[in-house]
């Protein structure tokens, strides 16, 4: 198993008594795994965010092509969709790199395919979208429905609603 994880927690804003209790619990949990905690004044924070921003471009170095999608599921289903994608990756032997905004259930799914695997990669996308919808998620987490997802819109939204959306778009 070559699974690895990097979790970046960033907390900001004012802390009330309930949130303070949750933050203390989070810190105790983090300390169990010997994870480093950085403060606002730590110069390393900028370096970590630069590392996070370099993930997507860096994935292009691992395969001939990258199929990337963004999905979003309820937080209670985040583990389920991640396990589903991992199992699908193992089954197809196509690596999947996941990153995103775990706090709101948004995942960037990156399938690392070579030229002979593109059809399998797009079949994986269809399965991932189907499972996302089954888990009461959405096939578009933060980037919207564009040209590449347009054909999948009917998986989530009924045709009559799509027509209403198109009419509304013409109005505005």
Q: Which DSSP string do the residues of 90-142 spell out, in sequence order?
A: HHHT--EEEEEEGGGTEEEEEEEE-GGGHHHHHHHHHHHHHHHHHTT-BS-SS
pLDDT in tens, 125-136: 999 999 999 999
Pairwise CA distance, residues 30 & 23, whole Å: 10
Kindly state the average pLDDT of the residues 112-118. 95
Contact 71, 107 (CB under 8 A): yes
The answer to whether residue 116 scores a pLDDT higher than 90 is yes
The answer to whether residue 3 scores a pLDDT higher than 60 is no
The answer to whether residue 53 scores a pLDDT higher than 70 is yes
Kindly state the average pLDDT of the residues 38-53. 76
**pTM for the full predicted model:** 0.77
CB burial of 25-55 (b: ≥16 within 10 Å; e: otherwise) equals eeeeeeeeeeeeeeeeeeeeeeeeeeeeeee
CB atoms within 10 A of CB 56: 14
């Amino acid at each position: 198993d070559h699974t690895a994880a990097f979790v970046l927690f960033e907390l900001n804003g004012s802390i009330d008594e309930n949130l303070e209790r949750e933050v203390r619990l989070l810190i105790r949990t983090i300390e169990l795994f010997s994870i480093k905690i950085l403060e606002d004044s730590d110069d390393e924070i900028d370096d970590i965010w630069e590392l996070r921003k370099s993930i997507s471009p860096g994935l292009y170095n691992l395969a001939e092509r990258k199929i990337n999608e963004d999905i979003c599921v309820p937080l209670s289903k985040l583990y389920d969709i991640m396990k589903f994608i991992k199992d699908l990756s193992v089954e197809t032997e196509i690596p999947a790199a996941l990153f995103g905004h775990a706090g709101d259930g948004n995942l960037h799914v990156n399938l690392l395919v070579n030229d002979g695997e593109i059809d399998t990669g797009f079949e994986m996308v269809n399965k991932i979208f189907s499972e996302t919808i089954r888990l009461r998620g959405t096939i578009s987490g933060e980037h919207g429905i564009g040209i590449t997802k347009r054909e999948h819109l009917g998986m989530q939204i009924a045709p009559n609603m799509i027509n209403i959306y198109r009419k509304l778009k013409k109005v505005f």
